[in-house]
């Protein structure tokens, strides 16, 4: 009769397997939210690139017509290349109405003027970018002022 010590072990016991699965689950619980946050932050570059292209086309439009366009289709279209952001343009510039050094996309000059513009990028549901609550809008005006939304916890990180 074979002794318990003499039996060769093949594979893992159920307890060992459950311990390994538990450790992997703990790693995944920490890694996935950080990964998702990194993906959202890296996708913001899609908005930055589209805004800069629209700015270049807006300046070209101005050099020909001596006024800025208020139609986004005149300066490159309403979505970014990967369709993660919806672009819009208004003939107003960003104002710091709270005098706190933060320019919010909703704080625009009054009245509208063909000599100013603000390009606003708003996340769409494409690729889950609308879950980017830190930067729910990114904007840029004709003076080079960069803006974001007020509900952002870390406004400086939108750009």
Give the per-residue pLDDT at 89. Answer: 93
Is position 156 within any domain? no
CATH number for the domain that contains residue 33: 3.30.700.10
Q: Which domain holds residue 113?
A: 15-148
pTM of the model: 0.78
Q: What is the pLDDT of residues 136-158, one digit of tens each?
A: 889 999 999 988 886 656 655 78
The tally of domains found in the chain comes to 1
Give the per-residue pLDDT at 128. Answer: 83
Is position 8 within any domain? no
Is position 155 within any domain? no
Is position 114 within any domain? yes
Give the per-residue pLDDT at 64. Answer: 95
Q: Got the DSSP string for the chain?
A: ---GGGSPP-S--HHHHHHHHHHHHHHHHHHHHHHHHHHHHHHHHHHHHHHHHHHHHHHHHHHHHSS--S-GGGGT-SB-TTS-EEEEEES--B--TTSSS--BTT-B-SS--TT--EEEEEE-SGGGGGG--TTS-EEEETT--EEE-TT-SSGGGG-
Give the per-residue pLDDT at 117. Answer: 92
Is position 4 within any domain? no
Give the per-residue pLDDT at 79. Answer: 87
Name residues of the chain where pLDDT drops below 50.
none
């Amino acid at each position: 009769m074979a002794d318990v010590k003499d039996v060769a072990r093949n594979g893992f016991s159920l307890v060992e397997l459950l311990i390994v699965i538990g450790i992997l689950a703990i790693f995944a619980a920490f890694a996935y939210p950080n990964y998702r946050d990194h993906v959202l932050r890296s996708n913001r570059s899609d908005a930055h690139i589209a805004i800069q292209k629209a700015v270049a086309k807006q300046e070209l439009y101005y050099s020909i017509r001596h006024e800025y366009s208020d139609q986004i289709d005149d300066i490159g279209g309403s979505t970014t290349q990967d369709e993660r952001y919806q672009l819009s343009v208004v003939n107003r510039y960003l104002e710091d109405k709270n005098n706190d050094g933060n320019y919010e996309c909703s704080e625009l000059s009054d009245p509208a003027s063909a000599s100013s513009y603000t390009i606003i990028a708003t996340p769409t549901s494409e690729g889950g970018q609308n879950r980017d609550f830190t930067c729910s809008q990114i904007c840029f005006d004709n003076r080079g002022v960069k803006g974001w939304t007020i509900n952002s916890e870390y406004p400086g990180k939108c750009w």
